[in-house]
Every structure is written in C-alpha cells, then in structure tokens.
Chains A and B, each alone.
Chain A
Amino acid sequence: MRHERPMRKKKTTNLLTEVELEFMNELWALGQGSVRDVLDRLPPERNLAYTSGATILRILDEKGFVESRKDGKTLIYTPLLEKDKYQARSLQNLSRTLFDDTPASLVARLVDDAGLSEADLEDIRALVERRLQNDSG
C-alpha cells in the first residue's frame, strides 16, 4: 500500500463534518498552519494520529475549504472560506432543514431558550435594531 498522488479538487457537500469543522476552527484561529500546528491545538485527550490529521486536511483541500502551499517539506494550509460565511451557510442549512425555511422560527427558538441571559437578550435587541435602522436608512 503506498500513498496516492495528490487528490484532485472535488465539488461535494458544502457543509463540514464534525471533525472537519474542528480542524477548520483551529485553522480560522491560526490564520494558517501545518498539520502539526493544528494537531498541537487539539485537546491532548484527542490523541489523533498525525496521518489522520494530514488526511483530514487533504480532504478539506480537495473539498475546496482550504488551500495548501509548500514551505520546504511542510504543507501549510490556509482557509479559503471565512468563518462568518460558513456560520451563515450553516445557519441557512439549519433553518431550511429543521425550521421549515422560516428563520423567524429559528430565532424564536433561540430567544425562548432558558440559557440566554438578560445581557444576551439585550445584545440581540441591539443587533436587530441596528439592522432595522440600516435597512430603513
């Protein structure tokens, strides 16, 4: 069994799996990094093999979420998708699949959540008011 040539870019689902999201979160925080950089940021109990980490980043590269460049013998990965854009995409997907494509239901569920503090609710109010002012202005 030998390593195969670099995988070609492939158009696939535009959502990340759990472990891919974990890696993207680390890359977003780092800005860019190698396999070792990302693995070093994971909790010690994850105990992920280097080859597994390398494969996950290769898959992200093939899916078009990151790009890679050679730095000596090391591959450095850079996110191609910004975190807030992925957050929006993920929420749109959640709204479509779980909230019948009505974002208001999603927000209602969030606001009903007992876990939100007074301060959180105030922040949300401020955000909504700012957005309304921008739209009317």
Chain B
Amino acid sequence: MTAVKPVLDVYLELNIVLGLAALIWMAARVALTKTPMQYGFVAQLRALKALCLCVLISPVLAVGIGALAAQTSSNGTVAIGDIAVAAYLRGEIAMPATQFEALLNTRERWVEILLSGAYPLVSAALSLLAVMAVVYLLRAVRDGIAIRQTIQNSFLWRRSAKVDIRLSDRITVPFAVRGLFRRHVVLPSHLLDTPRELRFALAHELQHVRAGDVEWELGFELLRPLLFWNPAYIALKYQFDRLRELACDQSVVSRRGIDARDYTNCLLDYCAKTISRGSPRVLNVALVTGGKAKRVLRQRVLALTEAPSVQSTAPVVFLVLTLTFAAVLGLGAASVQQTEDWSHDRLMLSTVVNLERLEARNAGN
C-alpha cells in the first residue's frame, strides 16, 4: 500500500489540475469571445494545446512556483494546507484544533479509505472504474489493430519525407493516423473518381498532419482509460476535437484557396456516408466523424460560412496567454500538493491538538 499511495497522490493531483485547466479554458473562451480571436480557431487550438502541455508539466511548474514563493513570500509557501495551518495558528480560524486537523487531513483519510478496501460500496465503485478503464483500453487496442490492417491492405500512392499517402478500397472516409515511424493519410480509392473531393480530402488530412493533430489525438486517447471518468477530460477533449476541425477547415480554405461552399458540401456528403459505417472511432483523425459529432459538424459548417476567412494572431498575445496558463496551473498544482508533515507550523498544530485532547481527558476525569 505504501508503494501505491504516492502513485495515487500523483494521479489525484493530475485530475485536480485537469479540472482547473478545464475551468481556465472555459474562462479563456468567455474572454476570447470579446476579442478578435473569437474566430481565430488556429490560435485558439494552439492555446488549448499550450494549456494541455501545461497540465502535463504541472509538477515541474509547481516546483518552480514553490521555489519562487519561497524567495518572495514571507511564509514561503503556496500550499493551501500550509497557508490554512498558518492562518489557524494566527487565530484567524475559529475552530477546535482536533476538528481543524481532521478537516486538514480529509484527503489523506479518503485515500486511506480507498486503499483499505474496508467499504464494499467504495470497492465496488473502484472495481467498476477499473473495468471501464480496461474496456476503453481494449477499444483503443481494437481500433489500433483495425487501422493497422487497413493500412497494411492499402496501396501506397505517394510518399514524402514524413507522410505516406495511401489508397484503400475498404474505407469510406479519409483519415490521417500515425504509426511508430511514419504518418499515413489514407483515402478511399473511389475518390480517384472525383478529383475535386480528392483535393479537399487530401488538403484537409495533410493539414491535420502538419498541425500535429494526429499525435495529439493519440495522446488524448491513450490517456482516456485513466481519465475517462473526469468531466474535465471529457470537456477538454470535446473542445480539442471541435477546435481541431474548425482550425483545420479554416487553414485549408484560407491557404489553398478552396471555395468554402464546395468544401462544406463535401463535408456534408461525407457525414452522410459515415453515419451507418463502423469505422474506428479513436486514434485517427477523420475528415468527418459521423452522426456522433453532428454538433461539431454544424459548428464547422457555420464557421465556414459565417466566420471571417483569415485570422492572424500576434505571437505576443499567444505568449501572454500561454504564460498566464502556466502561472495559474503552476500555482494550482503547487497549492494542491500534499503539505509537509513536519513543518514548524504542523508541529505547533499537533501540539495544540494534543493539549486539547489532554484537556478533554482531564475534564472527563
């Protein structure tokens, strides 16, 4: 159990930071609607990717923020627990010491309950989560195998330094995916019959490859078995899927001089084709993702017809946004970290608790 506890702590902190990231993103979205970046989907996607990277490196950011606080602040900490103990010792929190200590150790107590297996209901819930995680893992493996088979049975059409373009007569919707060494864009072979649609599909999928979307999709889906239950993960993944397609459409239409109306018709045609087909749903970046993504498709069509075509964002705006994300997430990660057990303040609190207990025992006698 002692070996599991640090892993569980890291996992819980990751989930809390992810929740914070989702809140930050929602706030940023509200703020962005009041700026010209409202229709800058490419910049928004880059900002979201920066935020997700900040989540991944949040332990490092927390160390940085902690070190910064140690140098600048008088009590030298940003951990909520330590701040609360200091405030309690200063008499700013009116509460019996035993009750305060119990409140302070809530997370530790819950972790112990989770690990002890003493409560059948908690154990059942944990088992259910584990089963769901295995199901998501198996789904990813199944889709991975299906994609691998599709690629193996496809025909290499063109090859560049980094990307293979392949034709397959077993798929109906174009998609981009990455293997261990190479990235693949797979197109239905019937597209050879319609050069205009072939051009749209190829431009779209190559843009995903260029933007690194296939790697991000892979990263998100590999984390799904661990984080599927967290609403923050679901919200961020939805935002990522949405912005990925909006940004890609915007780039394709503005960079390649493709007519937005023709392109939109092509998307709608493909959506109709995918609704009844059982294509792999994860690990790949498809031109359209069928009936389940109707809302995103609607947004894509509206964005293509209503949003201004080209949106450029100053690098300094992006930098400020990224630094803000990093600072807030670093602060959040540092504040939820477990407090140091044997700090001076903690010893003082422990002493007060012991005195309170002694007094209670004496009063009982």
Contacts and interface: CB of A to CB of B under 8 A. Distances in A.
Interface of A: 1-4, 7, 10, 12-13, 17-20, 48-49, 52, 55-56, 58-59, 62
Nearest to A18: B190
Nearest to A52: B192
Nearest to B202: A1
Contacts of A20: 169
Nearest to A4: B159
Interface stretch (B2-10, B150-158, B175-183, B353-361): B150-158
Contacts of A48: 192-193
A1 B155 CA distance: 16
Nearest to B193: A19
B189 interface: yes
B364 interface: no
B169 A13 contact: yes
Interface in B145-202: 153, 155-160, 165, 167, 169-170, 189-190, 192-193, 195, 198
Contacts of B170: 13
Interface of B: 153, 155-160, 165, 167, 169-170, 189-190, 192-193, 195, 198
Given A13-B169, A49-B195, A59-B167, A19 B156 contact: no
B158 A17 contact: no
A3 B193 CA distance: 19
A19 B157 CA distance: 17
Contacts of A3: 158
B192 A4 contact: no
Contact of B155 (A2, A19, A49, A62): A62
Contacts of B165: 1
Nearest to A59: B155
29 contacts: A1-B159, A1-B165, A2-B160, A3-B158, A4-B156, A4-B157, A4-B158, A4-B159, A7-B155, A7-B156, A10-B155, A12-B153, A13-B170, A17-B169, A17-B189, A17-B190, A19-B190, A19-B193, A20-B169, A48-B193, A49-B195, A52-B193, A55-B157, A55-B167, A55-B192, A56-B189, A59-B155, A59-B167, A59-B189
Contacts of B157: 4, 55
Given A2-B158, A4-B159, 4 more contacts: A1-B165, A12-B153, A55-B157, A55-B192
Nearest to A46: B193
A126 B153 CA distance: 43
Contacts of A49: 195
B187 to A, nearest CB: 11
Contacts of A56: 189, 192
Nearest to A15: B169
Which of A3, A19, A58 has the most chain B CB within a 10 Å cutoff?
A19
Contacts of B159: 1-2, 4
Nearest to B192: A52
A3 to B, nearest CB: 7
The 4 closest A-B pairs by CB, nearest first: A52-B192, A4-B159, A17-B169, A1-B160
Contacts of A55: 157, 167, 192
